[in-house]
Amino acid sequence: MEKKIIKSYSLSEMKDKYIGIVGTPDRDQYEYELRMDILGRMIKTARKERNLTQEQLGELIGVKKAQISKLETSANSATIDTIIKVFKALKAEISFNVKIENQNLQVS
């Protein structure tokens, strides 16, 4: 009996094949949505660490509970200003890295 060799693929190879290579519109959208999902989860984790409800966090920054819920499930529609307010209310540090022509800029 002959053994079959099964080819394995890395996650990167699978994303390239099924979503598109880095730099294509579909891949860029996928990577953006993934980062926003992670940001939402970070907000939720920090909120729970501070023992705050969504309603309490909303009150701290002047928004409704529904907006906090939406932010935690998908930060896609959030403005940077709102995200900064949320992390300040949570007493959490946030920083942004911007890369311009091989030069890193960091804003905290």
Q: Which DSSP category does 24 fall into?
A: S
pLDDT 10s digits, 57-91: 999 999 999 999 999 987 777 888 888 899 999 99
* Residue 81 domain-assigned (yes or no): yes
Indicate the average pLDDT of the chain. 86
Q: What is the CATH number of the domain that holds 101?
A: 1.10.260.40
Report the DSSP beta bridge partners of residue 107. 96
State both tokens at 32.
Answer: 């953006």
Integer CA distances (angstroms), 92 to 56, 58, 96, in order: 16, 16, 13
* Residue 4 domain-assigned (yes or no): no
The whole domain housing 61 covers: 11-107
Number of domains in the chain: 1
* Residue 78 domain-assigned (yes or no): yes
Q: What is the pTM of this model?
A: 0.68
